[in-house]
């Protein structure tokens, strides 16, 4: 999502090794003109496809029919081999060896275009490319050939599931994406037991990462970014942590870790950006809400979405379309009305960052009280930092699982 990744979730780790993330996305010069079909007014170099995909997916989730030119722009970003880069300023120019193909952008585009329908040729080629760059451990890195990480593996799982594939059957050398995720899950014991790491460090050790955990929960459940409210009502993870012999148990362990982490700070997560002043992490909190809702952990998810209602307005306004999309998906997952989110109309605010939609749509994800008043019913890794090269907007994650102008990860 617009803000989906913590300091440990560095896309550059998969390409150039560990590094210190940049402080913020570059600001465009006043003379720069970006495509009129694109959502957001900041430089799309590092997140154009990601934020466009999230914006279109969020609009579809609440019944809004996006502008045709915005959908066309996204589909035309695809390379001939099926992959997507973060942004192609001239899609008439063929992708070449210098084009930075991106598993996260590709997977986000698949989820959005599958939801919109009518793009089977595009999504089919994209899924084929994702399968072709799967690592031997069953997972994916941010860039083809990069070491597998929880966020990238999870967002690819979401794309596979959206496209009608069975992720557990997508294997490389006998390993599935779930095998990769289980290797990235911390064992029980200690405060971080049950969490997911982004990647092993240079010594092969795992460090808990909240954003990776939110992505990992969704991935282990075979779930994409959109979680239907109440879909797993009553299927709670249970107390504590148990040995993760299955993806489902790993997801339950991850949810337990997130619940504890959220409860420590009044329902939200804190930024893990090295060297930064401690501050709330709105994007990762939204990712965590979706992850908990996907597992039926509605009590903490609803507490955290209430916190977001009260506190996320300034962050979303500064961060742009992917942030609004994250909040809409978190609202949707908890049955909260995104058109009255702490008094704000997230759907209208998202729409204002891009071309006018074809239809306004119906209110989706209404609260229980709203459902009693309206007949329209209710219908999801953080920041991706590409150090020295790109900053990719999510996560967050999310799955993710992201160029944005960020204050935190």
Point out the residues of the chain with pLDDT beneath 70.
1-32, 231-239, 272, 361-409
DSSP string for 117-128 = -S-HHHHHHHHH
Helix (H) or strand (E) holding 322: helix 321-333
Structural domain includes residue 2 = no
Do residues 109 and 49 make contact, with C-beta atoms less than 8 angstroms apart? yes
pLDDT in tens, 127-156: 999 999 999 999 999 999 999 999 999 999
pLDDT for the residue numbered 271: 87
Phi-psi label, residue 195: left if phi above 0, alpha if psi -120 to 50, beta otherwise: beta
Note whether residue 386 is domain-resident.
Answer: yes
Q: Is 292 inside a domain boundary? A: yes
Q: Count the domains in the chain.
A: 1
Does a structural domain hold residue 406? no
Residue 349 lies in a domain: yes
Give dist(CA 186, CA 189) in Å, integer: 9
Q: Let me know if residue 404 belongs to a domain.
A: no
Q: Which domain holds residue 269?
A: 13-232+241-393
Q: What sign for the dihedral angle of Cα 266, 308, 333, 53?
A: negative
- Strands 269-270, 280-281: pairing is antiparallel
Please, which residues have CB within 8 angstroms of residue 333's CB and are 6 or more apart in sequence? Answer: 226, 227, 228, 229, 289, 290, 293, 294, 301, 365, 380
In this predicted structure, what is the pLDDT of residue 365?
43
- What is the token pair recorded at 282? 């709105």
Q: Which residues contact 357 (CB under 8 A, 6 or more apart)?
A: 59, 64, 65, 66, 67, 351
- Residue 57 in any domain: the answer is yes
Residue 4: predicted pLDDT: 36
How far apart, in Å, are the Cα atoms of 105 and each of 46, 119, 156, 263? 10, 16, 10, 32
Q: Per the domain annotation, does 408 fall within a domain?
A: no
CATH of the domain at 365: 1.50.10
């Amino acid at each position: 999502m617009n803000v989906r990744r913590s300091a440990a979730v560095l896309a550059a780790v998969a390409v150039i090794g560990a590094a210190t993330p940049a402080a913020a996305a570059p600001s465009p010069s006043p003379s720069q003109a970006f495509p009129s079909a694109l959502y957001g007014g900041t430089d799309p170099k590092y997140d154009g496809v990601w934020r466009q995909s999230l914006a279109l997916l969020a609009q579809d989730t609440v019944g809004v029919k996006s502008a045709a030119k915005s959908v066309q722009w996204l589909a035309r970003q695809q390379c001939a081999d099926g992959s997507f880069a973060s942004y192609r300023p001239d899609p008439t120019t063929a992708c070449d060896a210098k084009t930075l193909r991106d598993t996260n952008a590709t997977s986000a585009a698949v989820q959005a275009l599958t939801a919109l329908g009518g793009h089977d040729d595009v999504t089919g080629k994209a899924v084929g490319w994702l399968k072709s760059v799967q690592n031997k451990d069953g997972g994916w890195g941010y860039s083809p050939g990069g070491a597998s990480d929880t966020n990238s593996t999870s967002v690819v799982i979401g794309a596979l599931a959206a496209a009608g594939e069975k992720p557990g059957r997508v294997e490389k050398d006998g390993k599935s994406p779930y095998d990769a995720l289980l290797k990235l899950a911390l064992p029980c014991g200690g405060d971080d037991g049950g969490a997911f790491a982004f990647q092993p460090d240079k010594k092969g050790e795992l460090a808990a990462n909240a954003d990776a955990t939110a992505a990992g929960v969704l991935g282990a459940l075979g779930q994409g970014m959109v979680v239907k409210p109440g879909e797993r009502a009553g299927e709670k993870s249970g107390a504590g942590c148990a040995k993760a012999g299955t993806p489902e148990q790993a997801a339950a362990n991850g949810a337990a870790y997130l619940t504890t982490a959220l409860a420590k700070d009044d329902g939200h997560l804190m930024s893990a950006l090295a060297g930064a002043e401690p501050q709330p992490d709105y994007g990762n909190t939204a990712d965590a809400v979706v992850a908990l809702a996907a597992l039926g952990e509605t009590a903490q998810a609803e507490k955290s979405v209430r916190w977001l209602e009260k506190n996320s307005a300034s962050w979303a306004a500064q961060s742009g379309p992917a942030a609004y999309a994250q909040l809409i998906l978190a609202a949707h997952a908890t049955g909260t009305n995104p058109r009255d989110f702490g008094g704000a109309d997230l759907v209208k605010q998202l729409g204002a960052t891009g071309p006018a939609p074809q239809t306004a749509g119906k209110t989706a994800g209404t609260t229980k009280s709203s459902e009693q008043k309206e007949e329209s019913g209710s219908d999801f890794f953080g920041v991706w930092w590409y150090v020295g090269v790109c900053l990719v907007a999510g996560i967050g994650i999310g799955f993710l699982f992201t160029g944005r102008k960020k204050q935190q990860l």
